[in-house]
Structure 1
Amino acid sequence: MAPIPTPSAEPSDTPDAYVGLAAGDAERQARERGWSTVRTLPPGAIITMEYLAGRLNFEVTEGRVTRSWKG
């Protein structure tokens, strides 16, 4: 049987630090800080709620991050 993969570690970064940044700058910073997946969403987007370690989500309005959360 194959071993169970170890989930990727999440950076010790605070998602709130991205709120107010331009979306492109926020995504670049997140990747530099070690987030393996960065997802940009419009306000009110319908998404699945499964938690994915290493993913950072941005809600973007008019090119700026208005909300940010892990998973």
Structure 2
Amino acid sequence: MKIDVDIDKCVGAGVCVLAAPDVFDQNDDDGIVIVLEDQPTAAQIPDVQDAAARCPAAVIRLTEGP
């Protein structure tokens, strides 16, 4: 599974960081999402799915493949 993020539409709410802190971080200047792991481990996938579901701007997408 791979994470795709539309950073141009990110509002910097930080919900993704709260849901999956090992996978997401925020830019210190503007709060925009930073993807730390674009291919999460099987153990991280539930948290990433939660982050995607809670994202107020709906910018996190999970796709199949490497």
TM over 0.5: no
With normalisation by structure 2, the TM-score equals 0.32
With normalisation by structure 1, the TM-score equals 0.30
Compare CA radii of gyration and give the structure with the larger one: 1
Higher helix share: 2
Greater RCO structure (CA 8 Å; 6+ sep): 2
Higher strand share: 1
